[in-house]
Structures are given as structure tokens and as C-alpha cells.
Structure 1
Amino acid sequence: MDSAVTNIREALAALAVPGKAVISQKFFKTGKGEYGEGDIFLGISVPDQRAVAKAFYPDVSLGEISQLLSSEYHEHRLTALFILVNRFQKSKIPSEKEGIANFYMSHLAYINNWDLADSSSYPILGSYAYEYDRADLLRTLARSDHMWHKRIGVVATLYFIRKHSFELMKEFVTHNLKYPHDLMHKANGWMLREMGKKAPDELIRYLDQYYLEMPRTCLRYAIEKLDEPLRQKYLKGKI
């Protein structure tokens, strides 16, 4: 075991709160048949994990990140992703950014819960796809049969949305609108809501076309920031 990985694991272990681990295992649905089945938690807060990642990221290799990312412990994986995000965002070298994006794609098996996907997909893959014209990477994920891949692809478009680029997100959301799992309904609605913050008219146009087809959870997320009278019209199907 490389010393950097050992040091990171020890730093995280010192921050663990066993009672929080029990709560996290319930919150992230780790029971039999649930989406996070079998996941194990140490009980470490996200701010503490971010702090550990910030302290260690300059000196950790991709090989060491891979060791941490393949851990059975959820917080090890999330901290590894925070380290990877830091590495990607600090790099000014295109080839290094490409290497990190490729590394991310090759380790998708370990990005297996919504917080892992949401905290890493848009600052790494979304940024890379936008800046280097690689929307094809996200399209492959969004059209996958694998739910976590779908969520990564859809949430990665948050980077595009923040750049006032909406077409890719709308394509992915529309493709996945009827996907049965609630976690995709939430992701789709979240991205639509984020578009609405930047361009309310774009959201209204999309809703007017699709809101009657949307799962209820998706619709509620999408319209959350609209004025209450308009929200009620969408909810009651009176548009």
C-alpha cells in the first residue's frame, strides 16, 4: 500500500463518527434490494472529506487515487473523487486533463451512488466535454442502460448549463424522461430547474411541450423555483 493512500485513510479514520455511519447507511439506501445495497460508511462529513482531499491532492498519483477509489468504504471513494476534481481543476495542461477524464471513464464502476456521481461528473466530465468538444462521452453515458452512467451523463451537463448551453441537457433529459427509477426523475428535474435559473423562458418552453409526460417527481423538481400560481397550473395540468 502506498504511503499517501495510508495517510489519507488514517486522516479520514480520525474524523469518523460511528453514529453518523449508521445514519448514512440508511440515507443512502444500503439495504438489500436498495440502490446502494452493501455500501459501507465510516461516518465522515462531506466538508471533512473535502478538507482531506484539499490537503493531499497535490501529492497523490492517479495510481494512488485508483487504490482509494476502489475501496469498499464510501467516504474513501468520495474523497478520491474530490482529489480528482481538485487535480482536474488546477491543471492547465490539456493532455493532463484528458488523462484525468479518461481515468474517470475507466473507473465508472466505483462511482456507484448519487453523491459520488453528482459531486464529480460536472466538474470533470462536464468541463472536459464542454471545453474540448467531447459531448460524445456524455452522450454515451446518458444513453447507457446503466442507471449510474445515465445519472453521470445527465448531471455532467450542469457545466454546460452554467455556460448557458442547454441543448445537450434537453436531449439527455428527453431521452431519459420515462426511465423508471426515481433517482433519474430527480436528476432530470434538477437539470431543468438549473436551466430555468439561467433562462426561464427556455424552461417554460420545455415544460409546455413535455410536462404532461413527466414523472411527478421530475416535474416537481423542475418547477420548484417558479411562481406559485404557475407551479400550481403545471401540477394541475392546466397549462
Structure 2
Amino acid sequence: MNTEKMISGIKKELRSKVDKGYKKFNQERIAPHMTGFMGARIPDVKTAMKPYIKEYRALPIDTAFEVSWKLALTGVFELRIIAYELIYKRKKDYDKRHFDIVEKWVKNYLEDWNDCDNLCTHAVGALVSAYPGLAGRIVKWTEHKKFIVRRAAAVAFIFPVKRGEFHKTAFDIAGRLMYDENDIVRKGYGWMLKSLSESDREAVFKYVMRNKKIMPRTALRYAIEKLPREMRVKCIKKMEDKMKKTAVMCCLLCVFSFSGLYAEKASVINKEGSPYELSLNAEAGFVSVLSHSIKFGEDGTAFDYVKEGGQGVLFPFNRFTAELRLFDVHSLVFIYQPLEIVSVITAERPLQFYDTSFYEGDVMDVKYGFSFYRASYLWYFLKEGKNELGIGLSLQIRNASIYFKSAKGSYGMVTENVGPVPILKLAGKYHFENGFWAAVDADGFYASSEFFNGADYFFTGAIWDISSRIGIELDNGISPYLNLRWLGGGGEGTSQSEDAQGDGYTKNWLSTFSLTLGVDFK
């Protein structure tokens, strides 16, 4: 069969369908950026193709790909549509090796979303459905510099997900493209999620609920289009703005600082003989991570932050404390502890965090933020001069923010959590005759109950914060000191919340050592 004659006949048939008025309207109003547009309407394009379908089906599959290839290379938009429509009609004859041809089309010859969708929602989708092992190669398209290739990564799975296939891969791609700067790409993965909702409505709803704070509005609205109304309402409900965590601390420091204006010379901020004593405390130094592992999802990667996550070096460390002593034996202590460790790494192996996957060699931004606020009450039951020993209780508010992101910012996994944690407290201080003093503080708790650790599900958790310091008390109420601290904790459990990511399972254990210089103002 003369394939050149077939191609020539298709071109001739198509030219007879050109509508100059439609061409002008399309170029001026619909797609002014489109190249190679002859001016035929889509139904007419398919009509021009019909006389040659039977001949095309009779071609050897490799010859059929060659014909479609030549049609696509003409640069004519309508002929590209015909090329992709024809090759899809041969999907039952696809071989795995044909993916190389299709991938070349995607990376080198797609010009706009029309081309992308015509090829990828049909031919590419059918190929990956027939050969699931190709999915990993398509996922890699999410990192391509061309926006149209990144869109192709998403829309290629529209055909399979409607059939109940590749659900995990679809969520992985959505995560990778979450922050893409191109709106065409965002619409693409939103469309993919919408198609997935036809076969797994609940999974898409949970995914959107988990990510609605960071998901671009365009992608979100596409994704929820086919969800029931009550689900859509929950997905688009605005989240209340969070109070900046530094605002409270700044206000407290201002109040305490202004109180020092009324202090006598013997003390920075207190009057001699007063039944109360206020002290402000600040520390600065470094923290070393002794061990740190985390796992998101029962089937997720057990990730070692020290060996793999760039936490094998020293990081800055600060702590701010305010204490109000009442009648010498009662103490109220307020602590703000920022703890944020950020690093840039190259994945040494494939990594899986809930629905988000990274591949060996991926460059990643990694953040572990576990700042907290703590309020404590201490009763000093043992007093001998300035020497004392006390016990009490603390309530800690954790403010966790953890992410693993592509360094390009195109995809990632983000988890945030705020919650209360009750803690037992012990404190003691001994003064030497030469003005030096030594002190020990210990906060800690272990619980295997959701009631005690603030979670809304059964969760095993622990926390410890043990410090020893030595300092000197100066005449004006200022005491500089050196502090050693062992700080750590973690937990393990499976959340039952509808907003939980993946299967809800989390395992996280951290142990750190810090060395700081501090100053206590009284």
C-alpha cells in the first residue's frame, strides 16, 4: 500500500474542509498562539479522516506509526489531530517499544494543550495501561522544562484512572505538580484528579482536604468538579488564618522589657523585697542531631535525617524563657522554643512519603520544624537559702511543620500539626559561695493514650528536655551561664481523621544535643 498516497489524500480531503471565517475567529479569539492552523472544525477533521481508517488499520503497526509520525511532522494542527486519532485506533497492536516513539513526540513536537490532550489522553494512556512498567518514565515528565510535557504527565493517566488503575501514581503526580507555576499544568492534574474521582471519589476528597491549604485554586476546582455538593463545600471552605507564632513572643518581650524601666539599680527588672520576681532568659548556640528517623505511611520509607537528610551538621539553636516567681516557692514559667532544621539534599535512593514519591538523584528541599510553646508551674518544696528543688507540671503546644519538596518547587509532601502535650517537670539549683551556681531542669513524659498526648487517635508518644547549666550571678541581677541540653521525643500511630494523608500512619523519633550560652535578667 502506498502510504504517501494515503497521506496526500488525507491532506487533500482536509483542505476541502477549511472554513476561513472559523480560522480568523479562532486565531483572534480562541487560540491566537496556535501555529499551523488551517481552519477546519474538529467534526470536519474527523470526517476527512474517515475514508482512510480502514486502510490505516490494515497497515503493519510500525508502518502505521510511521504514517502518523509524518502527519504530525507537517506542523499542521488538524493533521496532528488526525495523526493522534489514527494511532489510537491501533491501540490493541501496541508494543512496549512504541513508547519510545510516543515519548519523542511528547518531548519534541507537542506545541499546546490541544496536541497534548489529543495524544496523551488516548495513545499514551492506552500504552501505560497495557504496560504498567512505563508509569515511572511518565512520572519523570513532571520535571521537564517544557510546561506541555509536565501537563502530559498528568493527562496521560486520565484513560487508566477512569478504569480504576494507577491511583497511587496519580496522587504522586499531583503532588509533584502541586506548585507548578503554569496554569495549564495545574488544570491538567486537576483534570486527572477529577477523572480519578469517578472511580475513587473518597480518595480524591481526602487528598483535596489534606492539601487545600496549598493547592492552587484552579487545580482544586477542577479536581472537585464531579464530587457531591457536600464534599465540594468542605473542600472550598476557607481556612482561618493562623496567628503568627512570633507575635505572642514579641508582645511578651515588649511588656517585660518596659517593666524594667521602673527597676532599681540593684536589679534590671525587679524591686527588692517584692513578693514577686520576674526573670527573662535568652539562649543562643548550636544543636547537633544525634539521631532522627521518620516514616509517613505503613509502606513509606523509613527516612534517616542524619544519614540521608542533611542533619549531620550543626544548626543554630535559640530559646526564650520568662519566669514569674511568687512568694519565693511558686513559679510560673513560659518558654518559646523555635526548632527548624532546613537542608538541601540529593536522594540516594527512591523515597516514598504517603502519596509522594522521589527518585534516586532527585534534588530535594527538606524541612523539619518542631517549634513549641510551653507553660509550667513549679512548687519548690525544698528550700535552703538560695538552694532549692521543685516539682511541677507543664503544658506544651507543639507547632510541627514538616516537608519534603522537589528543589524545583514543582511537587512535594507537606504535613502540619498543632496540639497540646502534658509534661512532668523537675527543677533544682545550687549556689556556691563564690557566686557561681549550677542548675538542672528536666521535662518529660511518656504516654500511649490519645487523651494524654493530645492526638485524636491512639498514639504512642514521648518527650524529654533535660538540661544542666552553670553560671555566675552578678551584682545587677544579670546571670550569664553555659547550658548543655538533651532534647528529643517522638511518637508512632495511625490517624483516623478524614484529613489524614495516605493511610494516616506516622512514626517520628528525634534526639538532639545542644550547647548554648545564655543570660538571665532579673
Shorter-chain TM band: 0.7 to 0.9
Cα deviation for residue 4 of structure 1 reads 1.6
* 1:177 lines up with 2:173 in the alignment: no
Cα deviation for residue 184 of structure 1 reads 1.0
Q: What residue is the counterpart of 1:104 in the other structure?
A: 102
Q: CA deviation digits over 1:30-87, x for unaligned, max 9? A: 1xxxxx4xx1311222222233334324435333322210122211111111111112
* 1:161 lines up with 2:164 in the alignment: no
Q: CA deviation digits over 1:200-225, x for unaligned, max 9? A: 11111101111111111111111222
Query: Please, which moves more after superposition, 179-188 or 54-63?
Result: 54-63
Work out which structure has the larger RCO, using CA pairs closer than 8 Å and 6 or more positions apart in sequence: 1
Judge conservation of contact 2:121–2:158 (CA < 8 Å) in 1.
yes
Report the 3-state secondary structure (helix = DSSP H, G, I; strand = E; otherwise coil) of the residue aligned with 1:213. Answer: coil
Q: What residue is the counterpart of 1:27 in the other structure?
A: 30
Q: CA deviation digits over 1:161-216, x for unaligned, max 9? A: 12212111111111001101111111111111111121111111101111111111
* Alpha-carbon distance in 1 for matches of 2:130, 2:113: 24
Judge conservation of contact 1:54–1:86 (CA < 8 Å) in 2.
no
* 1:85 lines up with 2:83 in the alignment: no
Cα deviation for residue 99 of structure 1 reads 4.7
Query: Please, which moves more after superposition, 45-54 or 75-84?
Result: 45-54
Report the 3-state secondary structure (helix = DSSP H, G, I; strand = E; otherwise coil) of the residue aligned with 1:43. Answer: coil
Judge conservation of contact 1:58–1:87 (CA < 8 Å) in 2.
no
Output the aligned Cα RMSD. Answer: 2.2
The TM-score with structure 2 as length reference comes to 0.41
Report the 3-state secondary structure (helix = DSSP H, G, I; strand = E; otherwise coil) of the residue aligned with 1:214. Answer: coil
Higher strand share: 2
Structure 1 residues 136-155: aligned runs within 5 Å: 136-155=136-155
Cα deviation for residue 229 of structure 1 reads 4.4
Which residue type is aligned with residue 197 of structure 1? E
In structure 2, runs of 5+ residues without a counterpart are 57-62, 240-498, 500-522
Judge conservation of contact 1:68–1:80 (CA < 8 Å) in 2.
yes
* 1:118 lines up with 2:117 in the alignment: yes
What is the number of residues matched between the two proteins?
227
Q: Percent identity?
A: 20
Cα deviation for residue 151 of structure 1 reads 1.3
Judge conservation of contact 1:122–1:158 (CA < 8 Å) in 2.
yes
The TM-score with structure 1 as length reference comes to 0.85
Q: What residue is the counterpart of 2:492 in the other structure?
A: none
- 1:67 pairs with 62, 70, 78, which one? 70
Quick check: which has more Rg, 1 or 2?
A: 2
Closer/same/farther in 2, CA of residues 182 and 40 from structure 1, 3 Å limit: same
Structure 1 residues 168-207: aligned runs within 5 Å: 168-207=169-208
* 1:225 lines up with 2:223 in the alignment: no
* Alpha-carbon distance in 2 for matches of 1:126, 1:63: 20
* Alpha-carbon distance in 2 for matches of 1:99, 1:150: 22
Report the 3-state secondary structure (helix = DSSP H, G, I; strand = E; otherwise coil) of the residue aligned with 1:98. Answer: coil
Judge conservation of contact 1:154–1:172 (CA < 8 Å) in 2.
yes
Which residue type is aligned with residue 10 of structure 1? K
In structure 1, runs of 5+ residues without a counterpart are 31-35
Report the 3-state secondary structure (helix = DSSP H, G, I; strand = E; otherwise coil) of the residue aligned with 1:128. Answer: helix
Q: What residue is the counterpart of 2:386 in the other structure?
A: none
Q: What residue is the counterpart of 1:33 in the other structure?
A: none
Higher helix share: 1
Report the 3-state secondary structure (helix = DSSP H, G, I; strand = E; otherwise coil) of the residue aligned with 2:227. Answer: coil
Closer/same/farther in 2, CA of residues 56 and 140 from structure 1, 3 Å limit: farther
